[in-house]
C-alpha cells in the first residue's frame, strides 16, 4: 500500500554512497526531508534530476531540509555517480527494493521502469507532498515550493 499525504515516513535502514549505514530516524522527525526515488544512476533523466537537486541543494539546506535520493543501484554505482556529478546529498542503495516497497512506489511504463516519486515530509515526519512524474526535473521546484510553505 502506497504512502500518502498525512502518513508518517516509516523507519528504514540502508547503505549510502559511502557504504555507511543510514537510519531514517537520523533525519525523519528532526527536520523537513525530501526522499526522491529515481530509476537508475547515469541515465539522462536521473542525471538531470540529481543535478537539479544538487544545483538547488543550498536552498534546501538554507531552509533546514535534507535531500536524499533512493534507487536500486549498488553502493559502488552510487559512489561513482555522486562523485562524477558532485552530489552533496546522500544516495541510498535499495538493491532489494525494500524501501521502494515500504513507500509503495510503483513501476512506470508497464512495469518496465522503476517509479520516479518524490516525498516531502515536515519536521515531524508527516508526508506533505507526494509527487509522481516521469518528468525528472519537475520534482525539484515542487519539493522546494513545499519546503518553503512548511518552514514559513
Q: What is the pLDDT of residues 21-74, one digit of tens each?
A: 999 999 999 999 999 999 999 999 999 999 999 999 999 999 999 999 999 999
**How many CB atoms lie under 10 A from the CB of residue 83?**
10
Active site residues: 46
Query: What confidence score (pLDDT) does residue 152 get?
Result: 84
Residue of 145, 146, 111 whose CA lies nearest to 39: 111
6's grid cell = 498525512
Task: Give the residue-averaged pLDDT of 5-30.
Answer: 96
Angle at 71 between CA 67 and CA 73, to 5 degrees: 130
Lowest mean pLDDT among 56-60, 70-74, 78-82, 148-152: 148-152
3-state secondary structure of 134: coil
pLDDT tens digits, 109-140: 666 778 899 999 999 999 999 999 988 999 99
Could you say which DSSP state residue 115 is in? -
R_g over Cα of the chain: 14
Amino acid at each position: 500500500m502506497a504512502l500518502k499525504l498525512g502518513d508518517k515516513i516509516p523507519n528504514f535502514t540502508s547503505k549510502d554512497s559511502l557504504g555507511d549505514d543510514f537510519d531514517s530516524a537520523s533525519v525523519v522527525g528532526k527536520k523537513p526531508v525530501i526522499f526522491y526515488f529515481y530509476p537508475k544512476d547515469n541515465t539522462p533523466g536521473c542525471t538531470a534530476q540529481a543535478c537539479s537537486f544538487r544545483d538547488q541543494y543550498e536552498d534546501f539546506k538554507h531552509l533546514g531540509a535534507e535531500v536524499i535520493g533512493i534507487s536500486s543501484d549498488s553502493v559502488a554505482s552510487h559512489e561513482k555517480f555522486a562523485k562524477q556529478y558532485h552530489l552533496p546529498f546522500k544516495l541510498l542503495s535499495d538493491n532489494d527494493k525494500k524501501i521502494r516497497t515500504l513507500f509503495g512506489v510503483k513501476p512506470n511504463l508497464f512495469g518496465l521502469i522503476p517509479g520516479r516519486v518524490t516525498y516531502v515530509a515536515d519536521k515531524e515526519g508527516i508526508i506533505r507532498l507526494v509527487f509522481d512524474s516521469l518528468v525528472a526535473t519537475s520534482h525539484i521546484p515542487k519539493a522546494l515550493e513545499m519546503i518553503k510553505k512548511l518552514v514559513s
